[in-house]
Amino acid sequence: MQEIFIFVGMLAGGLGLFMLAINMITDGLRSAAGHALRNMLGKWTSSPAHGILTGLTITAIVQSSSAVTVATIGFVNAGIISMHKSLGIIYGSNIGTTMTGWLVVIIGFKINIDVFALPMIGIGMLLRLTGGESKRAYFGLALAGFGLFFFGIDVLKDAFEGLVTTIDLTKFTVDGVAGVLMFTGIGFLITVLTQSSSAAIAITLTAATGGVVGLYAAAAMVIGANVGTTSTAAIAVIGATSNAKRVAAAHIIFNVVTGVVALLILPLLFWTVQNTEDLLGLETIPAVTLALFHTIFNVLGVLLVLPLNESLARFLDKRFVTQEEIEGRPRYLDKTVAVSPVLAVNALALELSRITTVVRRMSLEALSSEFVPSMRIRRDFIVARKLSSEVANFITQLERGMLSKEVSEQLAKVLRTEQHLLACADQALETARMQAEVENVTDEIVVEGISRFRAEVVSLMKIANPEEEDFSFTECELQLDQMQLAYDEVKAALLLAGAELRIAIPVMIDTLEQNSRIRRMPRQMVKAMRYLNEISMIAEVRLPEPEKVMETELIEAEQDDVTAEQ
């Protein structure tokens, strides 16, 4: 019974360290990564071939495809590289992991980076504690995360060490397809339990060399180990972003497809291995045969998947789609309207109206929040950012030669509107974020003034809706004056209450700052409405017919989701 408790405790601790490491790596990379790192990774993954070479090289050095996969997921999760560019690294890491077999053959042992785990944790945390808020500190956090990752894997290995060693492979015999599948399952199970395909392959090569299992059985175990390494990626993306989940899915699809193909053509692969051994003059021993087999079937997998890389990327783009990604896709911007300046301005105005709706919803949510920002505010902020980016990208794609002075002025107003809306969104998010830090005021006069001021802000944000038929910019300006009057009154009441010590001075200062932040929200919104109103009047903006909207959305659903990579 005691052994069971120890096993469960080590299992839980190893997984806990593993998940903590993933979060540390992601947070550290997100904060530490500057333009230099982005540019470097961009060059390394500028094409699928470059990505494959990068994944192969790094995996061959660190001797862990799991570590490379997790690092890649961390980069994608942190937004440093795109999901599309990461696929090459995933392919290359599978070829790189075949170096374990060759090291066993050539050297007799595998390089084990686990011995560096504790120094990495120590150095990383030293950099984090002494670096303040610098990039060095966040790099230290990521470094400590990598150390914890390897340490967690080591704990998992120790937890399952006794279990793995108790598997007596001599009890099993290969009997046709069922036997091959059985040994494939054994290789998969060993990799999942140890969280290391390298360890599973080393065990397999040792067993084959000692005559415990035959070549076909050992080959099936190698295939199972190759598929089993996907469990690391599956664990790593728990709670991660959609793109990180897509990377893990690509890793799983690639390994499973490669494994299935290898099993289907197992005799042909062994024929290829034997001919390659003769051609290269290699020693015909089980360890060499299996190492070469592992390399050939992984290279074959890359050759099979690489021509389908773009199709796989498009398939993954449509998976794990979040609500903010759906709302963040432009509804009116496409190539068909870009050919005409008039249509382009009309489409931009309609898209700005969508952004306005999202930002207004954010602002109202921020005013009703009493504690930390809700998930809805965070999602809306992401949506507003995505749509804003799409508006800016669409404008840059318009041909400069076909734009008249009038159209150029309208595009300038579009950009101004976009910037004011983003400023309003920033203030809404910051208002909600600072809500919990501002201590509640108990003075009745001040409380009444704050309530009246917020009510005026809410009224203004509600009528600032260009999608309503009775929308009036003049009414927005009048309401803005009412809001400003309420702000001035509550500011005076706060200053007087602070002077008379009816409220603490720090509370007064925090409340004044929060009110000022709230006031900036509707001011930015009204500025955006001014420009959007001018654009709509000049361009005579019209909504497309409902049937056309539905048709456009169906076409967009079938088109490549280019925005996901952007």
- Which domains, ranges and CATH numbers included, belong to the chain? 2-320 (no CATH), 324-565 (1.20.58.220)
Q: Is the confidence at residue 388, as pLDDT, over 80?
A: yes
Q: With contact defined as beta carbons under 8 Å apart, do 209 and 287 qualify?
A: yes
**Proportion of the chain above pLDDT 70, given as a percent:** 75
- Give the residue carrying structure tokens 């002077």: 499
Across 152-179, average pLDDT: 59
Q: Which of the two residues, 449 and 547, has the higher pLDDT score?
A: 449
Mean pLDDT of the chain: 77
Whole-prediction pTM value? 0.56
Helix (H/G/I), strand (E/B), else coil: 440: coil
Across 426-449, average pLDDT: 82
List the one residue out of 278, 72, 104, 307 whose CA is nearest residue 205. Answer: 104
Cα separation, 80 vs 28, in Å, equals 12
Q: Which of the two residues, 180 and 487, has the higher pLDDT score?
A: 487
Q: Is the confidence at residue 29, as pLDDT, over 90?
A: no
Q: With contact defined as beta carbons under 8 Å apart, do 476 and 463 qualify?
A: yes
Q: How far is CA 304 from CA 257, 299, 316, 409, 471, in A?
A: 9, 9, 18, 51, 57
Q: With contact defined as beta carbons under 8 Å apart, do 202 and 100 qualify?
A: yes
Q: Which of the two residues, 111 and 488, has the higher pLDDT score?
A: 488
Describe the chain by its helix, strand, coil percentages, rounded to 5.
80, 0, 20
What is residue 22's predicted lDDT score, i.e. its pLDDT? 62
